[in-house]
Structure 1
Amino acid sequence: MSLAPVTRPPETPPETRPMSRREWLLSDRPQSRTQARLGRAYMTWRRFSANRLAVLGLCILLALIFVAIFADALAPYNPVIGNLAGARLLPPGSEGYLLGTDDQGRDILSRLIHGSRLTLLVVLLVAIIAAPVGLIVGAVAGYAGGWIDAVLMRITDIFLAFPKLVLALAFVAALGPGIENAVIAIAITSWPPYARIARAETLTVRHSDYIAAVRLMGASPLRIIFRHVMPMCMSSLIVRVTLDMAGIILTAAGLGFLGLGAQPPLPEWGAMIASGRRFILDQWWVATMPGIAILIVSLGFNLLGDGLRDALDPRESGQ
């Protein structure tokens, strides 16, 4: 007696659940370049936001940008014109002056708020000038090699042989005092470390398979450098630029302190410290308040740079 085969009813496919936005970003099989780029950016942000000190540094930077943009609305008094008759060298909290006044009767808080614009301007201009120069020099030297590498790196070594502030003083002395010349001098002295980093990154990728494939496709050396080599150096360069912002602020403040940066009556923090050093024993707030502002902003950039280093290079953070 033969048994008839038992036929099972077809299995119903499991209910398909729509993919959430987080799952779409964390997918290990991205369906497009946009999804892959957004996924990498999301992972970078997760690593960055896990570092509370880095988030604190980002908040300080955002606060600096906010204060610089809305300085006219936030400053309670005129930063340039003071009240010599009745508001000279008032201590913090006196007569509505939260941080006190200086020897010209000007509100220190208002001068600090407007001075944030100069600080942010110097930082941005130096980064815009120095970082691309260093990136191009380092990428060209690392990819070309030979005598081009030797010449460019020896020029870089010459700049690195001098302390940054001393070299900036020399250039400002030759160009003349002023905020524009100070920016140029700081930018001239800031590009060599970026060139070193870009060269090291280029040396690690110039013999990669994808660079060889691009070269076999007929791409010119300039196209390879600008389209394929330089983007690989950007993450390390961004981290180094962020970490250097504190040094740039201190260099600009040093030039202002020596009278070679922003000229009076501009509310530059270094110049404010220089004008207040005569009253450091009795009216300590005149020089202390801008010093605290420089300390907080420099600390914020350092914390932000450390967080970016860990987020952009997971090997450093052990992830």
Structure 2
Amino acid sequence: MSAAATPSRRDWLLADRPASPAQARLGQAYRTWLAFRANRLAMVGLAIVAALVGMALFADLIAPFDPLRGGDLRTARLLPPSWTHPMGTDDQARDIFSRVVHGSRLTLLVVTLVAVIATPIGLVIGTCAGYFGGWVDTVLMRVTDIFLAFPRLILALAFVAALGPGIENAVIAIAITSWPPYARLARAETLTIRDQDYIAAIRLQGASSPRIIWGHVVPLCLSSVIVRVTLDMAGIILTAAGLGFLGLGAQPPQPEWGAMIASGRRFLIDFWWVATMPGIAIFVVSLGFNLLGDGLRDVLDPKAAS
């Protein structure tokens, strides 16, 4: 019975003539998933990101030791990787594997908060500039150009220096420096949408500009912006790690990967694992987001060849 039901469900999702809007939406989502699943590197990226999320959610169960408290400094300090300590211990006799696992929570928190803060800002500024044009477009894009004129890390350093060190201020600084590319992309998409016939028809029906922007322009810009946000996740992680490395992000003894590298650089020659293990974590997670973003771009890009 189940073997016969599976093909029928697949045929229902892939029907050429959907019987309802819900069937059409589900069918489109299923086709998108099939296209995404065919990309092996994208699936590798999805697996890495899923592993990061799972590690952050179940860090207390995965980590064998307390990430903040170390062992006996006389016997457990700077131990090499072993079965007991898979990534070794640091100069405070803390298990590095446990700290890397718990550090995934901070990484995921920073990535999520920056995406939640920066994406709406970029969408609002970009769609308003592209839809209204004229002096609104000029003012908003010149402000955007000012932010784009500075390297992201340098600008984030300036904001954190003004706000003070800490993970909360680091998130705010990274979010403030992350929205300009989304605004430029949303503006470009809006310029191609605002003169379409269906937008003119909606305008003739008496819809207000905010309703047109939020109800019809923003949803059409979302796919491109989501792809860009996913591709920028690696840069966000590296910026957060850079701030932590410089002592302006998460403060000790929080297990932030950049701060862990900074504390381990003193032992890089003799005890390489102290700085190398969190560095590998940053590399793997950044690679995962890049692979996932490339896969989403191939699937969601409306200009890509089908």
Q: Which category describes the TM-score, using the shorter chain as reference length?
A: over 0.9
What is the aligned partner in structure 1 of residue 215 from structure 2? 227
Q: 1:99 aligns with which of 66, 87, 98?
A: 87
2:224 and 2:184 mapped to 1: Cα distance? 11
What is the aligned partner in structure 2 of residue 251 from structure 1? 239
Question: What is the percent sequence identity of the aligned residues?
Answer: 74
Task: Name the aligned partner's letter for residue 193 of structure 1.
Answer: P
| Residues 262-305 of structure 1: per-residue CA shift (max 9 Å, x gap) | 00000000000000000000000000000000000000000000
What is the aligned partner in structure 2 of residue 290 from structure 1? 278
- What's the TM-score once normalised by structure 1's chain length? 0.93
What is the aligned partner in structure 2 of residue 116 from structure 1? 104
Q: 1:153 aligns with which of 134, 138, 141?
A: 141
Please show how residues 81-92 of structure 1 align to structure 2 within 5 Å: 81-83=69-71, 84-92=73-81
What is the aligned partner in structure 2 of residue 78 from structure 1? 66
The answer on 1:306 being equivalent to 2:306 is no
Post-superposition offset of 1:313: 2.1
The answer on 1:129 being equivalent to 2:117 is yes
Post-superposition offset of 1:85: 2.9
Moved over 3 A (4+): none
| Residues 27-46 of structure 1: per-residue CA shift (max 9 Å, x gap) | 22111110111111011101
SS of the residue corresponding to residue 153 of structure 2 reads helix
What is the aligned partner in structure 2 of residue 192 from structure 1? 180
Post-superposition offset of 1:97: 1.0
What is the aligned partner in structure 2 of residue 13 from structure 1? none
What is the aligned partner in structure 2 of residue 217 from structure 1? 205
Task: Name the aligned partner's letter for residue 217 of structure 2.
Answer: V
1:315 and 1:47 mapped to 2: Cα distance? 15
The answer on 1:48 being equivalent to 2:36 is yes
- What's the TM-score once normalised by structure 2's chain length? 0.96
1:97 and 1:41 mapped to 2: Cα distance? 43
Aligned CA-pair RMSD:
1.2
Please show how residues 255-294 of structure 1 align to structure 2 within 5 Å: 255-294=243-282
Q: 1:143 aligns with which of 119, 131, 147?
A: 131
Post-superposition offset of 1:314: 5.7
2:16 and 2:297 mapped to 1: Cα distance? 24
SS of the residue corresponding to residue 233 of structure 2 reads helix
1:230 and 1:28 mapped to 2: Cα distance? 28
| Residues 97-151 of structure 1: per-residue CA shift (max 9 Å, x gap) | 1110000000000000000000000000000000010001000000000000000
What is the aligned partner in structure 2 of residue 241 from structure 1? 229
What is the aligned partner in structure 1 of residue 4 from structure 2? none
- Count of aligned positions: 300
| Residues 50-87 of structure 1: per-residue CA shift (max 9 Å, x gap) | 00000000000010000000001110001001012321
Q: What 5-or-longer segments of structure 1 have no aligned partner?
A: 1-18
Mark the structure with the bigger radius of gyration.
1
What is the aligned partner in structure 1 of residue 157 from structure 2? 169
SS of the residue corresponding to residue 20 of structure 1 reads helix
The answer on 1:32 being equivalent to 2:3 is no
2:226 and 2:270 mapped to 1: Cα distance? 43
Task: Name the aligned partner's letter for residue 306 of structure 1.
Answer: D
Task: Name the aligned partner's letter for residue 206 of structure 1.
Answer: R
SS of the residue corresponding to residue 242 of structure 2 reads helix
Task: Name the aligned partner's letter for residue 294 of structure 1.
Answer: I
Q: What 5-or-longer segments of structure 2 have no aligned partner?
A: 1-6
What is the aligned partner in structure 1 of residue 168 from structure 2? 180
2:281 and 2:113 mapped to 1: Cα distance? 20
1:22 and 1:213 mapped to 2: Cα distance? 36
SS of the residue corresponding to residue 233 of structure 1 reads helix
